[in-house]
Amino acid sequence: MANERHVDHREWEIDASTRTSGHPFTKYSPFRSATSTTAATLFSIPAQAISVNWIENPGVEGTGVGMFTATGSAIERSTAQANSGAASLLVNPANSAASEGFYWASNVVSVNKTPQHLTASCYVRGASASGSVKIQITDASGTELATSANTNLTTSFARISASYTIPGDTAGAVYRVYVVSAAQHNIDWYTDDMMFEVREDTIAVSDYVDGNQGIGYEWSGATNNSSSYRRMGMTTMRGIQIRNESGTSAEVVFVAFDCTATATTGIPVIAGQVFETVWPIDFRSHVSVISASGTPTVSGVIWGLHNG
């Protein structure tokens, strides 16, 4: 703020709420990395938006592909290509018409007073650089509601997406996501990392999410056979344990919170020693580290919670 004054200082200081003061630490971020004599950010509070993917085997890492229905094509799980993981869905169009591919059907999207935004996305790669495909959102009988641009297949994976807004008070209904040839062709293609999301806050397409992606990512049920979600990221750091693995005494590491580490702003961690907070802290930006010499490795964990 350009017109900030000293009396605004109340907003500069952080007072944890009564509720969060006694909150167990539910988030953590482990680390092990080399430092150097240039300050580096060891950890920063992630901008980790909550999102949900309704598609049950979105990365085709599970062997069951019964949630996908072929239409004018043959489909099968293939480990020949993958955008992530080890497998994708191979689509072999029959080459008798346009719009050959497959679809996935959602559970009922419940009625809502306010609009709901549907987004569908996936990554596609041609067996060769020819032919085009598109992704569509349709109603429960396959009538088109929204369609991506036609995308020419290449031998690299590319993301395609479509979005549709359900007006408020629309009766609950099933929706389908189609991935099909844009024009008739006989080029096989691979589909991976599919996503279908229902949001009320934005029509923007979220980053791809599945339960295999690490800390904060979970399947709602069986792995590779249920919806999945990304939980909120850490918003408040509440503790750190950091070990300086070096055995060389000159290799002191300085650790700073919410500012850039230097020999004067950082807490010194002597070679071979561990610094661990013994009382909850409350920092909300980042941890910076710098070494006095060399490239000592630091390892440990940052503890925190959400909604400080």
Question: Which residues in this chain contact Ca ion in the complex, by CB under 5 A?
Answer: 59, 82, 85, 92, 186, 192
Q: What amino acid occupies position 40?
A: A
**Alpha carbon of residue 85 to chain centroid:** 15
User: Which is nearer to Ca ion, 74 or 250 (by Cβ)?
Assistant: 74
Buried b (16+ CB within 10 A) or exposed e, 277-298: beebebbeebbbbbbbebebbb
Minimal distance in Å, beta carbon 159 to Ca ion?
13
User: Which is nearer to Ca ion, 87 or 242 (by Cβ)?
Assistant: 87
User: Which is nearer to Ca ion, 206 or 224 (by Cβ)?
Assistant: 224
Minimal distance in Å, beta carbon 216 to Ca ion?
20
User: Which is nearer to Ca ion, 58 or 308 (by Cβ)?
Assistant: 58
User: Which is nearer to Ca ion, 82 or 252 (by Cβ)?
Assistant: 82
User: Which is nearer to Ca ion, 75 or 118 (by Cβ)?
Assistant: 75
